[in-house]
Every structure is written in C-alpha cells, then in structure tokens.
Amino acid sequence: MANLFDAANAPTTEPLEIVVGDFIQWKRTDLGVDYPNNLYTATYIARITGGGASEITLIGTASGDDYLFTADSATSAAFIAGYYHWQLEILRNSDSERVVVDRGTFEAIVDLDVNNVDPRTHAEIMVDKIESVLQNRADADVSNYSINGRSLVKLSIDDLLKWRDYYRNELTMEKRKERVRRGKSTGATIKARF
C-alpha cells in the first residue's frame, strides 16, 4: 500500500466513502488539458441527502497540470455522517463564469474512534427498532390512543412486518455491496453443474 498522505499517491477518482475525521485527498488528471489550472478554478460542492444548510466545499490546487483536492482531518471532522451528492464546478477566472462538469455521490461514515458513535447503517437501525416494537406489541396491542382530544395511531402488525421486510432487504443489499467491495462472493450467485 502506498503512503496516502503523499500527494504523488493520491487516487485519481473521487472517494466513494470517507471516514469523518480522516485526511482525504484525490486528483483530477482529466481536466488540465481543457481547463488549465492557471486559468480556471475547480471546486467540489457537496450536500447531504435530504438537504440542509451545511455544504462541503473543496477547492482544487494546482499539482502540475492536475487539480489536487484535499480535506485535512479537522475539516472532515465537521462532516455529518450520511450520503452526499456532489458536483464539480469549473470557474473561468477571467470573468467568473461557471460550468458543472461532473456529478456523483459519496458516503461519509462515522469514525469508530469517537465515543458513543453508532456504527449501524440506517437499515440496521430500522430493523432493530421495528423488531423491538414487534416484540413489545405482543404484550400491549393497542393501535389508537386518545387523551384530551389528542390522538396517536400506531402502525398495524401487517405494516410493521412490511417495513421490517423492506429494511431487511436493504440490509441484505448493503452486505452484498460490502462483500463485492472486498472481493468476496455475495452468496447470490447461482451455481450449476453440467
């Protein structure tokens, strides 16, 4: 493995996953011919899925003819864990005109070194919560409450089972993607002997 702090070893594609609080860097080697870094500025803008006011901005620096993008540990420590959508903007320095040249996504995952962090994915959390509710529903199955004119309606067992199955499927897909990323079999391959 190459030293990931060395800009010479920086990946030439955007990360698909980052750990909040890590030093991050990558290069874009495909832009310099059309957008020389002495005449243009390249900037990544990312926003977490679901919107929100927080925005991640990384401005590229010249690295020979390439653009180098970095976020130090202190900067990425401020990222909120979740799925992000990004766009790469090129700004013409002479007149500040802008074009978006690329778009994509990445996931910011929690740092397990931080106290009280929950490393479970959304699907894992939902499966756990729904199964907990299902276990407790056997003891007290009341679907409606009304107190002083205010009411609360709980999901039916059929609805809870439907959502549990949905999130279990999401969890299975996450596990398969992780196995593929690690170069392992997903268990979904059908084998036949002839």
What pLDDT shows up at residue 141? 53
| pLDDT tens track for 54-102 | 789 999 999 999 999 999 999 999 998 888 999 999 999 999 999 999 9
Which residues, given as ranges, of the chain have pLDDT below 70? 115, 137-146, 151-153, 189
Q: What is the domain class of 7-109 according to CATH? A: mainly beta
Give the pTM. 0.68
Residue spans per domain, the chain? 7-109, 122-181
* Distance from C-alpha of 170 to C-alpha of 129, rounded to nearest angstrom: 15
Contacts 24+ apart (CB under 8 A), 98-107: 101/31, 101/35, 104/14, 105/16, 106/14, 106/15, 106/16, 106/17, 106/18, 106/46, 107/16, 107/17, 107/18, 107/82, 107/83
